[in-house]
């Protein structure tokens, strides 16, 4: 039992502060556990492979964070968002062609979005990080994280790769 400065024991009913503390912990703990680093995907062998040190030398810190650590760039920060020239969008890690410019659209999300990848260019795997079930998109040649695919894109596929 806890006492304060030798006075009588504190009341047995929970104080407002204690109650708020327990409520806060009940909200924060599930989110904190969901935000842990996600488990590494099964070891897949990709045609382009480098050690972590080599990837760090080949990529900028932001590219490494996104492609190798499945990070996310800030919305509306990508120079590709306003890229409207005809051509092909490629993986920043290995230059694998990924998306034709004709499949790019403005999703309003703040990230470059496409409704279809080039044939055989990307792979998909389940991603349950941050307490959500999503489908991760990765480069089939180097395994680099490219984002996620959602079912709210335009016709003809109804997909949004971003």
- Whether the CB-CB separation of 10 and 17 falls below 8 Å is answered with no
Residue pointed to by tokens 């109804």: 158
Instruction: Find the helix or strand (DSSP H, E) in which 67 lies.
Output: helix 61-69
Burial class (CB in 10 A: 0-12, 13-18, 19+), 131: exposed
Q: Does the annotation count 139 as an active-site position?
A: no
Alpha-carbon span 152 to 108, nearest angstrom: 12
Instruction: Find the helix or strand (DSSP H, E) in which 97 lies.
Output: strand 97-100
Alpha-carbon span 41 to 6, nearest angstrom: 56
Q: Which residues are catalytic?
A: 162
């Amino acid at each position: 039992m806890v006492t304060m400065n030798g006075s009588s024991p504190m009341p047995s009913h929970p104080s407002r502060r204690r109650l708020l503390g327990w409520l806060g912990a009940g909200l924060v703990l599930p989110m904190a556990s969901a935000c842990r680093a996600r488990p590494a995907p099964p070891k897949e062998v990709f045609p382009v492979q480098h050690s972590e040190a080599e990837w760090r030398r080949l990529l900028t810190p932001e590219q490494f964070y996104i492609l190798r650590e499945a990070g996310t760039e800030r919305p509306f920060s990508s120079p590709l968002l306003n890229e409207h020239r005809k051509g092909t969008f490629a993986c920043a890690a290995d230059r694998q062609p990924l998306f034709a410019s004709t499949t790019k659209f403005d999703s309003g999300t703040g990230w470059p979005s496409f409704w279809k990848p080039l044939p055989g260019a990307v792979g998909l795997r389940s991603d349950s990080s941050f307490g959500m079930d999503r489908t991760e998109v990765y480069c089939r040649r180097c395994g680099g994280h490219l984002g996620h695919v959602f079912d709210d894109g335009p016709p003809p596929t109804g997909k949004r790769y971003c």
